[in-house]
Amino acid sequence: MTTVVPIETAKPAVQPGQRVGVLLINLGTPDTADAPGVRVYLREFLSDPRVIEDQGLIWQLVLNGIILRRRPRTKALDYRKIWNDEKNESPLKTITRSQSDKLASALSDREHVVVDWAMRYGNPSIRAGIDALIAKGCERILAVPLYPQYSASTSATVCDEVFRVLSRLRAQPTLRVTPPYYEDEAYIEALATSIEAHLATLPFKPELIVASFHGMPKSYVDKGDPYQGHCIATTEALRRRLGMETSKLLLTFQSRFGNDEWLQPYTDKTMERLAKEGVRRIAVVTPGFAADCLETLEEIAQENAEIFKHNGGEQFAAIPCLNDSDPGMDVIRTLVLRELQGWI
């Protein structure tokens, strides 16, 4: 007869002297807010077949002949608008480092757990993060993609890179990857708490809230990517928690790129339409981003605010991401501790 040991009473698999690594992973950022730095970042990002699936000759000509010649200059100007000059880095890097530091502090009573952070594109790289954890004696590693909603162009490419790094190693650490948490109770509660707290500080009451998620080509979803369904599930769960009707909490998609049809409705077009229809006060939340970045601080808080006001809107509020706030860290800590069960 086989005896099943309950997880609460099972002895941890990690023995004295062994360590467990936790690697927080976000999308990435240029190392510098200038055209050369942005060019290096965009080349790595747009050369990933998970991001641009057709990496054929035509795309290579467009990428190297047009995009990498023109876009770095304009995107560098956007990065300059939000750049952390004190640390000479993007806010995404500042916040992700802080998330890592705060998680390490929260797990400090578990001396065998080591926390670090990495970026899928740019620095610090996933390879550098894994190498650092192994150097500290970590024989087991939990990779934590900081994407609430799964997509092949975010979560999957993180796994691709982690597996590529491990494929070069003769002595591989044991690996786990946290799942997407798009309707996790702790995540929805943290979003709701953050939204309510921010709305309470505003000098106006928004007529409605827009939940803007990063977009993707519609063809990716047609081929089976679950991303759109996850975004819908997050929005519906958030509506239930906040007690809001569909018309008062809208779902949109931002950051479209190229000429293909992307997931709709588009955020910028929605801002224009709402303002023209007479909406004067609005708030935007970005639930798909675990940390504020170019897409939230510049594209939403500046570009879309301008679109809204240019078309008749009057008051616009961009609600911060969860970042390294207490509610945000509760989500990360809950997710990590859940996935470390049996190891610690």
**E runs forming strands in 71-127:** 113-122
Phi then psi for residue 177, to 5 deg, are: -130, 130
**Length of the chain, please?**
344
Residue 214, annotated as binding a ligand: yes
Q: Is 310 annotated as a binding residue?
A: no
Q: Six-digit token pair at 127?
A: 């390879």
Q: What's the DSSP call for residue 223?
A: T
135 three-class SS: helix
Write down the number of H helices and E strands in the chain: 13, 8
- Report how far apart, in Å, the C-alpha atoms of 299 and of each of 58, 178, 321 are: 28, 29, 14
Please tell me the distance from the alpha carbon of residue 320 to that of residue 339, in angstroms, as a whole number.
Answer: 27
Phi-psi region of 20 (alpha: psi -120 to 50; beta: other; left: phi over 0): beta
Q: Which residues are annotated as a binding site?
A: 214, 295
Q: Which residues are annotated as a binding site for Fe(2+)?
A: 214, 295
